Chain A
Amino acid sequence: MNDLKSNITANRLVFDDNDPQDELVTLNLGPTHPATHGVFQNVLQIDGERIVSGISTIGYIHRAFEKIAEHRPYYQITPLTDRLNYCSSPINNMGWHMTVEKLLGIEIPKRVQYMRVIIMELARIADHIICNGILGVDTGAFSGFLYVMQEREFIYEIFEEICGARLTTNIGRIGGFERDFNEIAFAKIKEFIKRYPPILAEFEDLFNRNRIFIDRTSGVAAVDPETALNYSWSGPILRATGVDYDVRVNEPYSSYEDFDFDVPVGENGDVYDRYMVRNEEMRQSIRIIAQAMEKLEKEPKGLFHADVPEFYLPPKEMVYNNMEALIYHFKIVMGEIDTPKTEVYHAVEGANGELGFYLISDGGRSPYRLHFRRPSFVNYQMYAPMSGGMLLSDAIINMSSLNVIAGELDA
């Protein structure tokens, strides 16, 4: 025993360091680590299992969307927004359309607004499913993930029915939708409203009172509301700390004021509260979709875009057979239509928080400047500071519950 002690002392002198048992280990978490769910890196200094400090490195999939957007006409920017938060692309698409419509002063018919609400809430559910499902996987419970992923697949089938794509949807046009929802889409939405709540209940049965899950998540990465606001958090993770800030309520867009829904808030701001807030939001989304379906019954059938021929791209068969449509098509594509010279900030409640579009127009066909206020980017900056003192396994769960999407992080 004494020999060992003297050896350690000798080591200290040789390495000119403290006790080697106190030596910190540098760990690269990412950029391609299965637990990060995306391409970003954290260089952590760990003392055993405990994180001492960390540095986040992001930008691995930066694609210069803001620069590209300055060279593209408004209607071609929609596919760029798809690739921000690719787990809930329709919210980004609709947010972008609404920004341009606000700039151009286009009035959208109620039916189209309700259709948009349905799409956005389906996207929110899909996003929360993947976040909460994977939170389960990260805590070691794989089965819950499989239960709900099946439903996410069903949502993607609805998207496929509406626009033909599943993940990067490019749904809608400036002024409305490219086509009406077909009968199969409506039938599938109705089926989804019926079949999802019991499955969500089943999913919650697996987790909510699960001793292991509670031990792993409760009290982990708890954030108080002041810190969260100081770091400009938004979305479910802010509401989990107890701040009831939801853009859908604070600045209703797309007729959210017509709907009756609750904004769930948490208490401790820990991982468990974020999980619970997301679950309850899914339930509220179902409520909103059901109300929207009812409201759609009362609206005129077959109306799927605003009557703004100078901004809404006409369908192709019209372009080939109709003089007016040809003229408008030409004017829109060649950028012959004047836009107001002003600036607009429009925010929507994305699945991760406040998704803002700051658009400056100089009157031309493409933006003078477009800035995305991306919730993941703003939310994630607290990750490294808050990881200090945390166990490595807790930090993984914390990252999972922040639901950082690399596409939105890097833009």
Chain B
Amino acid sequence: MAKLDNQTLIGALQDQFGDEISGGEEPFGLLTIETSKEKILAVLRFLKTNKSLQFIYLTDITAVHYPTQPLGMAVVYHVHSLVHNVRIRVKVFLDEVKPEIPSATVLWNGANWMERETYDFFGVVFTGHPDLRRILNVDEMEVFPMRKEYPLEDPNRVDKKDFFFGR
């Protein structure tokens, strides 16, 4: 079997999706592409089911918050082709006020908790997810704590002010 390099990989994706795919940087050899939330399931399904690619292993789903960008919420998928031993990173930028993206649980059962974790910390709603609840935080929590607007500690706390320590 011919070795699958990033060039053939992005070629195959562009043949299939054309302009729907952008990006194509390779930080540390890991091909990173961007797509839209309308196309993300099609892209992931293509990666998974295409006979010459076979990205059958979902490594990770997470999100990144960029409050200064117009589309401020990036959902990041790491997918791995165990056959070719190649990884790919797929990013989707969403509106940060009401981020919504179709759930990848239709492709991988393993996406279930990864998406719940992403929802829990960033508030990304995965439509079609069978059981989208908080997973690590308490159910009563009202905020999505990994968003950048939430500070690590309460800024109004006085017991940690420097003057208590002679500084």
Closest to A343 in B: B27
Instruction: Kindly state whether residue B60 has any CB partner on chain A within 8 Å.
Output: yes
SS class, residues of chain B in contact with chain A: mixed
Q: How distant is A65 from chain B, measured CB to nearest CB, in Å? A: 11
Chain A residues whose CB sits within 8 angstroms of the CB of B13 once the complex forms: none
- A255-273 CB mask vs B (1 if < 8 Å, else 0) is 0000000000000000000
Give chain B interface residues in 69-120, CB to chain A under 8 Å: 76, 78, 82, 85, 87, 89, 108-114, 117
Q: From the candidates A58, A102, A344, A347, name the one contacting B135 in the complex (CB within 8 A).
A: A58
A360 to B82, CA, bound (A): 25
Q: How distant is B86 from chain A, measured CB to nearest CB, in Å? A: 10
Closest to B131 in A: A55
Give chain A interface residues in 233-263, CB to chain B under 8 Å: 233, 243, 245, 250-251
Known contacts A345-B28, A373-B78, then 9 further A-B pairs from the complex at CB < 8 Å, ordered by chain A residue: A58-B136, A230-B108, A342-B27, A343-B32, A345-B78, A345-B89, A354-B59, A381-B113, A382-B109
Q: Which of A66-74, A85-93, A292-300 contacts B (4 or more CB under 8 A)?
A: A66-74
Instruction: Kindly state whether residue A358 has any CB partner on chain B within 8 Å.
Output: yes
Instruction: Let me know if B85 and A250 touch, CB within 8 A.
Output: yes
Given the contacts A356-B59, A356-B78, A358-B60, A230 and B110 also touching, CB distance less than 8 Å: yes
Q: How distant is A362 from chain B, measured CB to nearest CB, in Å? A: 10
A-B Cβ contacts below 8 A, count: 84
Q: Which 6 A-B pairs have the closest CB atoms?
A: A232-B110, A59-B136, A381-B113, A62-B136, A373-B60, A371-B62
Instruction: Let me know if B60 and A251 touch, CB within 8 A.
Output: no
Instruction: Kindly state whether residue A410 has any CB partner on chain B within 8 Å.
Output: yes
Instruction: Kindly state whether residue B146 has any CB partner on chain A within 8 Å.
Output: yes
Chain B residues whose CB sits within 8 angstroms of the CB of A342 once the complex forms: 27-28
Instruction: Kindly state whether residue B152 has any CB partner on chain A within 8 Å.
Output: yes
Give chain A interface residues in 84-136, CB to chain B under 8 Å: 102
A245 to B84, CA, bound (A): 12
Q: A: which residues have CB within 8 A of B?
A: 58-59, 62, 64, 66-68, 70-71, 102, 227, 229-233, 243, 245, 250-251, 342-345, 347, 354, 356, 358, 360, 368-369, 371, 373, 377-378, 381-382, 385, 410-411
Chain A residues whose CB sits within 8 angstroms of the CB of B113 once the complex forms: 377-378, 381
Instruction: Let me know if A67 and B136 touch, CB within 8 A.
Output: no
Q: How distant is B107 from chain A, measured CB to nearest CB, in Å? A: 9
Instruction: Kindly state whether residue B58 has any CB partner on chain A within 8 Å.
Output: yes
Chain B residues whose CB sits within 8 angstroms of the CB of A232 once the complex forms: 57-59, 108, 110-111, 114
Chain B residues whose CB sits within 8 angstroms of the CB of A358 once the complex forms: 60, 62, 76, 78
Q: B: which residues have CB within 8 A of A?
A: 27-28, 30, 32, 56-60, 62, 64-65, 76, 78, 82, 85, 87, 89, 108-114, 117, 121, 134-138, 145-146, 152
Chain B residues whose CB sits within 8 angstroms of the CB of A360 once the complex forms: 64
Instruction: Let me know if B28 and A410 touch, CB within 8 A.
Output: no
Q: How distant is A77 from chain B, measured CB to nearest CB, in Å? A: 14
Given the contacts A354-B59, A356-B59, A231 and B110 also touching, CB distance less than 8 Å: yes
A229 to B59, CA, bound (A): 10
Closest to A66 in B: B146
Q: How distant is B138 from chain A, measured CB to nearest CB, in Å? A: 8
Chain A residues whose CB sits within 8 angstroms of the CB of B28 once the complex forms: 102, 342, 344-345
Chain B residues whose CB sits within 8 angstroms of the CB of A343 once the complex forms: 27, 32
Instruction: Let me know if B87 and A378 touch, CB within 8 A.
Output: no
Chain A residues whose CB sits within 8 angstroms of the CB of B78 once the complex forms: 345, 356, 358, 373
Q: How distant is A352 from chain B, measured CB to nearest CB, in Å? A: 15
A345 to B91, CA, bound (A): 14
Q: How distant is B137 from chain A, measured CB to nearest CB, in Å? A: 6
Most chain B CB within a 10 A radius of its CB, from A59, A232, A233:
A232
Provide 27 A-B residue pairs closer than 8 Å at the C-beta atoms, listed in order of the A residue.
A58-B136, A59-B134, A62-B136, A64-B145, A67-B145, A229-B82, A230-B108, A232-B59, A232-B110, A245-B82, A250-B82, A343-B27, A344-B28, A345-B28, A345-B78, A345-B87, A345-B89, A354-B59, A358-B76, A358-B78, A369-B65, A371-B62, A373-B60, A377-B117, A378-B113, A378-B114, A381-B110
A64 to B109, CA, bound (A): 25
Instruction: Let me know if B114 and A71 touch, CB within 8 A.
Output: no
Closest to A232 in B: B110
